[in-house]
Amino acid sequence: MSPPNSKSLGEESWKSLQSHVHLLKVPSIPRSEFLIRQTTLAGVLDKAGVDAFIAEPSASTDYFANISTTFELSERPFLVIISKTGQFAYLAPKFELGRIAGLDMVFENKTVIEWHEEESPFEALKRATGLKKVMLDEHVRFFIATGLEKAGIEVVASSEEVQSIRAVKSSSEIAILKAINEFTVELVRSLQRNIKIGVTQAEITTAANYLFSAAGIGKGFWALILIGEQAANPHGGSYGRVLKDGEFVLIDIGSSLHGYGSDVTRTFLPVGSKVSDELLGVWWTVYAAQKGAIERMRSNETCSVVDAASRKVCPQAIS
């Protein structure tokens, strides 16, 4: 019998996964929620005594204004500015204004500040806004910070209060995260049913990419497929391995839905394979540790307590 290939593996897995695509039918973040985020940010800025928050296209602009991290940065600054009064503005080179105007950004009202090739963008920003003190997003490049300071604008780093805004998830965010992660779990299960001895890492990766793409969410795909002893180094290992009898497969995988990602890791024994008692014991040790942690995951519980519960199980299970 010839070993499976990525096409047949993906197609066979799709037969069971297809019925779970409905999990992805959740709405994206509504416009009203973006505006609430901007208002919340403005209140934090005002309390901190700064005039505005400045960011380049990043996870922060994605969160506050729906300006994606996929916007390609260049040496010419494109800066998003949200003031302490909630006013939305952006600074952009004149020849890029058309392209940037086409972005699906969210704002109540906007101010566009253009700068010409022969002038400093930071001087143009200072002249147009009169900003004296700004808070920079942690993703902003160093030359922008120094350029702002040279233009006479005081710069401070993003505060914990600003960073914590994103940490508390809304019901809309939770629904998206639940959808993409539940679907990813089902995708791994569909692969598990069809992965057989003789398959290669590349075939599993290609099949997984095929499944996310078939569901319409392939753009954010990533995967780590590790076989046998490779799983002892969860974030890496040599490529080109072929699955042999007596080996586990570790799949660490995800994609994104409405800008929110999944991250699912499963270690399983392929169909028709057997492992040693020692390896199976290690698997059950990890399972027990995970179970102990999950049992302590309650509202208002600290991460350290959950972590300690997981670690406590390991010596007992090993002995």
Is 42 a domain residue? no
pLDDT above 80 for 1: no
Token pair 């005002």: residue: 46
Residues 269 and 298 in one domain: yes
Confidence of residue 314 (pLDDT cuts 50, 70, 90): confident
pLDDT digits (tens, 9 = 90+) for 9-66: 999 999 999 999 999 999 999 999 999 999 999 999 999 999 999 999 999 999 999 9
Number of domains in the chain: 2
Is 40 a domain residue? no
pLDDT above 50 for 273: yes
Residues 67 and 195 in one domain: no
Is 257 a domain residue? yes
Return the pLDDT at 71. 87
Last residue of a domain, one of 144, 165, 186: 165
Return the pLDDT at 152. 97
Residues 79 and 144 in one domain: yes
pLDDT digits (tens, 9 = 90+) for 181-230: 999 999 999 999 999 999 999 999 999 999 999 999 999 999 999 999 89
pLDDT above 80 for 278: yes
pLDDT above 80 for 318: no
- pTM across the whole model: 0.88
Last residue of a domain, one of 165, 191, 206: 165
Residues 277 and 212 in one domain: yes
Return the pLDDT at 2. 42
Return the pLDDT at 232. 85
pLDDT above 90 for 305: yes
pLDDT above 70 for 7: no
Return the pLDDT at 316. 57
CATH number at residue 74: 3.40.350.10
Residue 156, beta-bridge partner list = 135
Return the pLDDT at 72. 87
Residues 248 and 146 in one domain: no
Contact status, residue 88 vs residue 67, Cβ threshold 8 Å: no
Name the residue with higher pLDDT: 212 or 237. 212
pLDDT digits (tens, 9 = 90+) for 133-181: 999 999 999 999 999 999 999 999 999 999 999 999 999 999 999 999 9
Show the domain range for 290.
6-26+169-318
pLDDT digits (tens, 9 = 90+) for 90-130: 999 999 999 999 999 999 999 999 999 999 999 999 999 99
